[in-house]
């Protein structure tokens, strides 16, 4: 959609990972923000980065309301290009946990709401539900927008004949990501023909991350089996007409008592463009739902802290 690009002058933090790779956090700190104030971490999808329009708009909205926002570039993406030997994958929850721990140390006493988009939404939900020990204590809530919680179903949807535009776009971006890896130029002649998303995932994720098989990769990294174990306040937003994440993915998994599923009739994939309502200043409906949820989680966290005191 046309419109002015939000002005985001963020400070960059490099976060070291246990295997020597690094990822980047872009710190959008409001003027006057103080220690203990609310924070949020935004996580992009498969073809995204800190510069994705939904990331920039979301950060701008939150920053205007006094929230300190961290836009995370996953391994090899955005400003992290060249800083990792391996690409991020669909279940990189340990990378997200490391980033949240970094935010917790940087902002002691602050609650953090985590918002994931598309593949990033799957990673966020997987972290929230797979292990209570892995989830950093500063996390006050989670939101996932069009999360690909069933990776096999999402991959099949992308590769349908009618989705050729999306498939070509994803493949072009995926190859570009791979080309940013150290050593790619020397070893690219050994690559098989990667003419589908399944072929790319099998070569770069199944083998490099040693999942054993493509089927195992999709099963192990999907968030769906972990949704019933989520304990923090969680909002999942999905749309019935999403061409990439089938709505049936959300019909079978059991949701935890702390999780709310909001399904819209229309919205596409990360679209949710609508008429500006009295409570929304513009037609980017999903941006204002992100703001609402982050503020709600921040208020709830403050109230819980007061009760504990």
Question: Could you tell me which CATH number the domain at 11-150+223-302 has?
Answer: 3.40.50.1820
Residue 22: pLDDT band (50, 70, 90) is: very high
Give the lowest-confidence range in 5-14, 104-113, 283-292. Answer: 5-14
User: How far apart (Å, rounded) are the C-alpha atoms in residues 169 and 20?
Assistant: 30
What confidence tier does 191 reach under pLDDT thresholds 50, 70, 90? Answer: low
Mean pLDDT across 210-231: 95
Q: Which helix (H) or strand (E) holds 141?
A: strand 139-145
- Cα-based torsion angle of the residue sequence 260, 262, 268, 271 in order, rounded to the nearest 10 degrees: -80
Kindly compute the dihedral angle of the four CA atoms of residues 187, 189, 190, 191, in this order, to the nearest 10 degrees.
Answer: 100
> Mean pLDDT of all residues in the chain?
90
* pTM of the predicted protein model: 0.93
Q: What is the mean pLDDT of residues 29-38?
A: 95
The residue extents of the domains of the chain are 11-150+223-302
Lowest mean pLDDT among 180-194, 198-212, 222-236: 180-194
**What is the distance between the alpha carbons of residues 247 and 238, in angstroms, rounded to a whole number?**
7
Per residue in 109-157, pLDDT tens? Answer: 999 999 999 999 999 999 999 988 889 999 999 999 999 999 999 999 9
Cβ atoms within 10 Å of 108's Cβ, excluding its own:
9
């Amino acid at each position: 959609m046309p419109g002015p690009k939000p002005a985001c002058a963020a400070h960059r933090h490099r976060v070291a990972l246990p295997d020597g790779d690094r990822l980047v956090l872009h710190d959008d700190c409001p003027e006057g923000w103080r220690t203990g104030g609310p924070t949020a971490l935004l996580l992009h999808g498969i073809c995204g980065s800190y510069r994705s329009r939904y990331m920039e708009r979301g950060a701008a909205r939150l920053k205007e309301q006094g929230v300190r926002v961290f836009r995370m570039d996953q391994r090899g993406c955005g400003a992290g290009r060249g800083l990792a030997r391996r690409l991020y994958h669909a279940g990189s929850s340990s990378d997200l946990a490391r980033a949240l721990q970094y935010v917790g140390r940087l902002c002691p006493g602050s609650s953090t709401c985590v918002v994931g988009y598309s593949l990033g939404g799957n990673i966020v939900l997987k972290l929230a539900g797979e292990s209570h020990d892995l989830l950093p204590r500063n996390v006050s809530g989670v939101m996932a927008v069009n999360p690909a919680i069933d990776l096999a179903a999402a991959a099949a949807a992308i590769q349908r004949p009618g989705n050729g535009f999306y498939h070509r776009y994803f493949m072009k971006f995926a190859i570009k990501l791979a080309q940013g890896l150290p050593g790619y130029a020397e070893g690219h002649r050994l690559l098989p023909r990667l003419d589908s998303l399944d072929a790319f995932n099998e070569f770069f994720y199944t083998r490099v991350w040693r999942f054993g098989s493509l089927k195992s990769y999709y099963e192990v990294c999907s968030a769906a089996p972990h949704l019933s174990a989520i304990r923090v306040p969680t909002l999942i937003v999905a749309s019935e007409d999403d061409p990439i994440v089938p709505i049936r993915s959300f019909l079978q998994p059991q949701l935890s008592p702390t999780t709310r599923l909001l399904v819209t009739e229309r919205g596409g994939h990360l679209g949710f463009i609508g008429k500006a309502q009295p409570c929304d200043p513009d037609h980017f409906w999903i941006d204002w739902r992100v703001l609402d949820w982050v503020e709600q989680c921040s208020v709830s966290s403050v109230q819980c802290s007061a009760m504990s005191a």
